[in-house]
Structure 1
Amino acid sequence: MVTNKEVWVQGVFDELGALVLSYIKTIVGDVHQAEDILQNVFVKLWKINIQSITNTKAYILTTARNESYTHIRKNKKFSAHVAVDCQIFSKTTDPLRKICIEEALLKLPQEQREIIFLKIYAQLTFQKIADTLKIPINTASSRYRYAMEKLSDLLGETNNE
C-alpha cells in the first residue's frame, strides 16, 4: 500500500533529484559520494514531518549542503579535487567553451562556486540563498557579484559599456 508520504517523497525526488545531485557534486566533487549523500538526504526527508516544511526546494538544498559538509568532515581522506558539471552553468554546445567555463569555475573559491550554483542552476533568490547558507543576504549577493566578475576575468570577457 502506497502512502501519501511515499507519493510526496517520490514527487520531490522526481522534481528535485537531479538538481540536488548536481549541487552535492559541486560540493564533494565525486559522483559516487554524491549519490550516497543524496540517499541520506532523502532518508532524512522521509523521517521528518512534511507539514513542517514551508519551502521544499530550500529545505532539501539546505539538507543536501549539511549532509555534504558532514560527509567531508567525517572522511579525513577526502580529495580536495572538485568536479564541476559545467553544463549546468552554460547553455553553450561548444565543447571548448564548456571546458573553459569548467576550468574557470574550479578556480573560484568554494563559497563563490556554491553561490553561482544556487543562483543560476537552482534559481534561488538571494534571500533563499542566504537562508540556505545561513549568511546575510548582502553576503550572498556580494559573493555572487565577485564570482561573476572573477568568471568574466578568467574567461576573458570584458564589459565594454
Structure 2
Amino acid sequence: MLVFQCKRGSREALTGIYEKYKADLLLLAMGLLNDKSAAEDVVHDVFLSFVRSLDGFRLTGSLKGYLLTCAANHARNWNKAERVRLRGAEHIAPSVSQSIDGPADALACNEQLQLLSGALAELPFEQREALMLHMHGQMTFQAIARARRISTNTAKSRYRYGIDKLRSILNGRISKCNRQMT
C-alpha cells in the first residue's frame, strides 16, 4: 500500500518506508562495509534509486527483501570502487558508539564488537553478504538465492562457510589473547 501511495507522489508514504527500513538497511550495509559513513551513503543511495525508479517499479516480493538486496548490491559496488581507490591499503574498523552502563561494560562490549567487526571484515564479501542477509535481514536462503541469482545450495554454502570461517577466526583470536594473558 505504501509503495502505491509513493507512486502517486505521497511524501508521507515515502517517509514511512524510509523510517520502517532504514535501520535494517544501515545495519546490513555497516556489516558489509565496516564503515558507518559509507553505509549511510549506501542507504541514501538505495532510497534515491528507489524514488527514481518508482514510475516503472513493480514489487513482486517483499519490499524489505527488495531494499535489502539493493543495499547489498550498492555495498558490493562501493567495495569494488573502494578497492580500486585504496589499492591494498588496510581499512581500519571504526569504533561503534555505545549506550552501556559503566565504563568496564562499555570497554568489554567495545572490544567484543571490534573483534567481531574485524573478523567479519576478513570474510570474503559473498560469505559476509550471505551471513548478514540471513541473520540480520532474516531472508531465507531461497530469497538470498533469487536476489543474488545463485542456487539455493550456493547461498547455503556461502552462509555455512562464512560461519565456519568466522568461528575459526574468532577462536584463533581468543586463543591468542588467552596465551598473551598467561
Q: Distance in 2 between matches of 1:28 and 1:156?
A: 23
Aligned partner of 2:125 in structure 1 is: 110
Say if 2:21 is the partner of 1:21: no
Flag structure 2 segments of 5+ consecutive residues without an equivalent: 98-105, 173-182
Instruction: Give secondary structure in 1 for the equivalent of 2:31.
Output: helix
Aligned partner of 1:52 in structure 2 is: 58
1:77 to 76, 85, 94: 85
Q: Distance in 2 between matches of 1:23 and 1:14?
A: 15
Aligned partner of 2:100 in structure 1 is: none
2:17 to 7, 12, 17: 12
**Paired residues, what number?**
151
Aligned partner of 1:119 in structure 2 is: 134
1:65 to 68, 72, 77: 72
Q: Once the 2 structures are TM-superposed, how far is the Cα of residue 51 of structure 1 from its aligned partner? A: 6.5
Q: Distance in 2 between matches of 1:121 and 1:142?
A: 17
Aligned partner of 1:155 in structure 2 is: 170
Q: Which has the larger radius of gyration?
A: 2
Name the Cα RMSD after superposition: 3.1
Q: Distance in 2 between matches of 1:135 and 1:85?
A: 34
The 3 A distance-change label for structure 1 pair 152 and 23 is same
Flag structure 1 segments of 5+ consecutive residues without an equivalent: 88-92
TM-score normalised by L of structure 1: 0.75
Instruction: Judge conservation of contact 2:36–2:94 (CA < 8 Å) in 1.
Output: no
Structure 1 segments, 4+ long, off by >4 Å, are 72-75, 82-87
**Structure whose residues are more often helix by fraction:** 2
Instruction: Judge conservation of contact 1:85–1:102 (CA < 8 Å) in 2.
Output: no
For residues 89-147 of structure 1, give each alpha carbon's deviation from its aligned partner in whole angstroms, at most 9, with x where no partner exists: xxxx8424333322322222111111111111111111111122221110010111111
Q: Distance in 1 between matches of 2:75 and 2:112?
A: 29
Aligned partner of 1:37 in structure 2 is: 42
Instruction: Give secondary structure in 1 for the equivalent of 2:150.
Output: coil
Instruction: Give secondary structure in 2 for the equivalent of 1:123.
Output: coil
